[in-house]
């Protein structure tokens, strides 16, 4: 059986709602973010029924919070989640906690390229993030399916790595919080998740 890797992003956070960059900083999930995590969990459950899997998470609070919501639905003990710093979001240098509107006032053409985040002074590079992800992938067992709870930009880098995409191709990928991606044999399937809001 070929291993499947399920790549997902944490749910919406307070900073996301405020259009504020997080990077290595953190903010908690909003009510919408918790609902997104529950929607993802419900779909994951159908894909992982009667299969062995391990849950890995970035150690940043928003990812751990999402992972624990998912664990509840999957009946997976949260203490078994493997938190690994190599799954953290890109460091966005001096732009962390800056709002996107304030940055576009200073840099009017900023959003013209999908990789605009990496223009941040002292930002972590794409190659550096792929290097830490490559190291992580080399250490995880080949046998079980893998659920990865990570971040928007790191998810782009991880999917790019698993699918053999060029830098330019990788940045055409989207970074949803209400969907996840199943990667198997260098092919990808997107699974959209219904979000129930009250």
Q: Could you tell me if 145 and 4 are in contact, meaning their C-beta atoms sit under 8 angstroms apart?
A: yes
Based on the residue annotation, tell me whether 10 is a catalytic residue of this protein: yes
Q: What token pair was written down for 63?
A: 């990812």
**Mutual angle of helices 126-139 and 152-163, in 10-degree steps:** 70
- CA dist., res. 101 & res. 97, Å (int): 12
Question: Which position among 12, 89, 96, 124 bears the catalytic label?
Answer: 89
Neighbours of 108 (CB within 10 A): 8
20, β-bridge pairs: 99
Question: Which sign, positive or negative, has the C-alpha torsion 8, 146, 93, 97?
Answer: positive
Q: Which residues of 173-194 are buried (b: 16+ CB within 10 A; e: fewer)?
A: beebbbbbbbbeeeebeeeebe
* Residues with catalytic roles: 10, 89
């Amino acid at each position: 059986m070929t291993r499947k890797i399920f790549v997902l992003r944490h749910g919406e956070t307070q900073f996301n709602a405020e259009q504020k960059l997080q990077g290595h900083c953190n903010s908690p999930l909003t009510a919408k973010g918790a609902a997104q995590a529950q929607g993802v969990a419900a779909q994951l459950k159908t894909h992982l029924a009667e299969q062995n899997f391990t849950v890995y998470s970035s150690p940043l609070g928003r990812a751990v919070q999402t992972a624990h919501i998912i664990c509840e639905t999957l009946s997976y003990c949260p203490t078994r989640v493997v938190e690994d710093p190599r799954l953290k979001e890109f460091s966005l240098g001096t732009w962390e906690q800056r709002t996107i509107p304030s940055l576009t006032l200073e840099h009017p053409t900023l959003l013209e390229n999908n990789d605009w985040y990496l223009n941040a002074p002292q930002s972590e590079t794409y190659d550096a993030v792929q290097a830490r992800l490559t190291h992580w992938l080399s250490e995880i067992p080949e046998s079980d399916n893998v659920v990865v709870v990570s971040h928007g930009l790191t998810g782009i880098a991880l999917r790019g790595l698993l699918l053999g995409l060029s830098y330019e191709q990788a940045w055409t990928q989207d970074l949803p919080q209400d969907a996840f991606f199943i990667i198997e044999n260098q092919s990808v399937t997107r699974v959209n998740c219904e979000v129930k809001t009250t």
